[in-house]
Amino acid sequence: MLPQSQGVAAVLRDEPLIELSSVGKDYTTEAVVVRALRHVDLTIQHGDFVAIVGQSGSGKSTLMNIIGCLDRPTRGTYRLDGLDVTRRSNDARAIVRNRLIGFVFQGFNLLPRTTALENVELPLVYRGIGAAERRKRALDALGAVGLAERLHHTPNQLSGGQQQRVAIARALVTSPPLLLADEPTGNLDTRTSFEVLGLLQRLNLDGITIVLVTHEPDIAACASRVITMRDGEVRSDLRNDRPVDAAEALAALPRPEAEAHEQAP
């Protein structure tokens, strides 16, 4: 298991992990102002599992970039774990980002000639963590995502689902309280998507806050809260009291043909 100093204990805190107040974001291109976000008010508590959905151009990716401290709002305020990061410099936001946030993207972004273990160790190298401690934390993270037997495999020796698990382990190795997943199943088939979602649900049960961007309703249904974006605004924010259990959904899928042949009498 991963360290839970910022996990389960954090769920008990009253202060929101994410708090956006009247946030707007404008982009100017050739003297044309594009309002990507309009007056967004959003609060996410420690331990939430939130899916942000919407069509292309709805503002969901812009919102994710602001939550992830990759961009700053034009208007309004953003507080992350009680810290106002709205007007902080790029360097200051990078420090906050590296301390509090893990990222998982649609493209796995793994270094092709390095092993799974080395890929997961990379964020710790940037932090100046010693080799022995790096290895221990990376081993724990890979064990937590079910890849303890694939430590020395390079990306081209791993399936798409396994590569995404390595990416998730890399995001978790610094024990952030917040995991941001931008279309994490976009390059995966249905079976592998539910495998990854099952992993995210288990991590959420351990207390990690997850914010997932997707355009697929089946993926969003696995979250406990679904926020719908349209034209830069939050159009609905609904609690999902009966999220789809990804492990059950996976078990209900037809078995892969090769596996079915192997188990046939």
Is residue 162 a contact partner of residue 147, using CB atoms and an 8 Å limit? yes
202 found inside a domain: yes
Is residue 78 a contact partner of residue 23, using CB atoms and an 8 Å limit? yes
So what's the pLDDT on residue 257? 65
Indicate the DSSP class of residue 165. Answer: H
45 found inside a domain: yes
70 found inside a domain: yes
* Tally of structural domains, the chain: 1
40 found inside a domain: yes
What is the domain-level CATH number for residue 79? Answer: 3.40.50.300
So what's the pLDDT on residue 13? 61
Burial of 10 (0-12, 13-18, 19+ CB in 10 A): buried
Distance of alpha carbon 247 from alpha carbon 191, whole angstroms? 10
| HSE-CB for 176 with a 13 A CA cutoff | 28
185 found inside a domain: yes
Residue 230 domain boundaries: 8-250
256 found inside a domain: no
So what's the pLDDT on residue 68? 96
178 found inside a domain: yes
pLDDT digits (tens, 9 = 90+) for 153-175: 999 999 999 999 999 999 999 99
2 found inside a domain: no
So what's the pLDDT on residue 259? 53
So what's the pLDDT on residue 110? 93
pTM for the whole structure: 0.87
So what's the pLDDT on residue 115? 97
Closest CA to 219 of 17, 104, 50: 50
Residue type, 146: G
- Enclosing H/E stretch for 75: strand 75-80
Is residue 200 a contact partner of residue 212, using CB atoms and an 8 Å limit? yes
Residues of the chain with confidence (pLDDT) below 70: 1-13, 257-265
